Every structure is written in structure tokens, then in C-alpha cells.
Amino acid sequence: MDKIYDHFTLDVQHADSLRLFTILLYLWFPLNVIMLYDVKDLLWGVDNVFYRHGHADGFIENFFYQLVYDATRFKMIFYTHLVASLLSIFQTRWSLIPRLITWCTAWLLFYAAIEAFNSGMMIMISLAFFASVIDTRAQHPFRILLTNLARYACIIQLSLVYFVAAIYKLSGDQWLAGDAFYYTVHITHFASDFWTSETMLNNHWLLTGLTWAGLLYQLIFPVMIWIKRGRTAFLIAGIFFHLFIGTFLHLWDFALAMIFCYALFMHDKTAARILRLLRLQP
């Protein structure tokens, strides 16, 4: 028990990689705001495309849907979210405040236009809750404990995302049959001339291989991140996997969310060099 106590309370574990992860986590929110800026009134204004009809008229529903009904209030929350997320990138004594504001306003924006978002937004909101207590410069044992527990919580959360996604895919037929990617590129949002060309659609082995490779990666991710040997190569493959999703399936918000999370598993020396380049560490 003493060893466990010392492990969690003596020093912040992997402080540099954790600091880089925290920066990228909270940087994702303003980047997402920028990507959605031109369509913000379509998502949350009074003339939004998700105007509520037929939902329960309870306190929770009305509280969240104030964003939908009042364009002025929507803008206040939208810009508060933007400012708070930018402030959350910096590590100060009072970082907990803007980070909790970021978390709350992100939920409001997500819930009010939930049909417009994919799982990337929800993943980052979940991680932002844990990361709100992270302080990589902590000296007090309690603050060190909170930071280390938050790190493990983020790792477990990320592992569960991959594991649950893999189990869900295994319960169906299209992924096991290798047909999932073939059907995906036929959906208008994900389609591109490259994938819908006759040459690519007739390349059955390539489409099947991509489907199985994606499934295999998600299935073994929760195991590989705990194994030092081969982990770096595995994560580099994962970065290319998510870059592929962003480039060819037009899901850059989700792709960047997953890639940014990989900072959790980066070697401290590499993370320290990146932080120095960003002038965020002496």
C-alpha cells in the first residue's frame, strides 16, 4: 500500500506528455469552434435546422434548449466557450475555473445541436472533465494525486472508446464480412470521386483490407498502449489511420480529437522538445 501511495502522490507521472496532452485537448475546442463558425447560426440560432418539435417539456430540456430559442443567449455561450477553452490551454493556479466553464459550455453546445456532431465532440468533453484538475507542476500530494488519477482516467476512457467501438462492430455483419468501408463510401457525406470511381469500387481486396485493419486496430488498442515494446510504432500507425479518416472521410474533428489524445502516450523527452518549440516550457 505504501508503494501504491508513493506512486500516486510523490511526483506527477509523465509530466511533459501530460502537459502536451492537456494543451492539445483544450486547443481542440477553439479549433472546432473555428470549423463551425460559418454555420453557427444554422446550428444554434433561432432559425437553426434542429428547432425542437415534440420533445418532453421538462426542466432539463428547456434548460439546454435555451440555446435554440434565444440567439442572444446562444452567442453569449458560444463566445464564452471559445474564450474559456483558449484560457484552459495555459496552466495557472486558477486553470480549474476556465476548464470547468469549457466543459459546461461544451455540453450545452453539444446537446443543443446533437444531431450535427459525431463522437469526437463527446470524447473530448469527457476527457475535458478529467483534465480540469490536471496540474503538471503540482507540489502538494493531494494535487499530485488528482493529476495522476486524472491521467489514468483519460487513458481508461480512451481505451474504452476503442474497445466499445470494436465490440459493437463485432456484433454486426458488415465489419466481419469486410464490407463496412465499401458501404461507407456510398454515403454522400463520406463519398469522394476517388473512392466512388469504378477502379476503387472494384478493388474488393483493398476495401476489405481497410475494413479489417480498422477493426483490428480498435480491438487491440486497449492492450497495446500498456506494452512499451512496439507501442510507438503502433501509435504512429494509429495517427495515419486517423489522418486517413480525416482526409478521405471528411471527419477532421473526430480525426484530430483522436490524434491529439495520443500525446498521453508520447515519450517525455519528445513531448518536452515539442513544448520547448512551442515556448511553453523552459
Please, are residues 185 and 195 in contact by the beta-carbon 8 Å criterion? yes
Distance CA 53, CA 97 (A): 35
Non-local CB neighbours of 62 within 8 Å, separated by 6+ positions: none
Per-residue pLDDT of the chain (282 residues; tens, 9 = 90+): 667 766 667 788 899 999 999 999 999 999 999 999 998 888 887 777 776 555 566 776 677 666 666 667 788 889 999 999 999 999 888 999 999 999 999 988 888 788 888 889 999 999 999 999 999 998 888 899 999 999 999 999 999 999 998 898 888 777 777 777 777 777 777 666 666 667 666 777 887 888 888 889 999 999 998 888 888 899 999 999 999 888 877 888 999 999 999 999 988 888 888 888 877 665
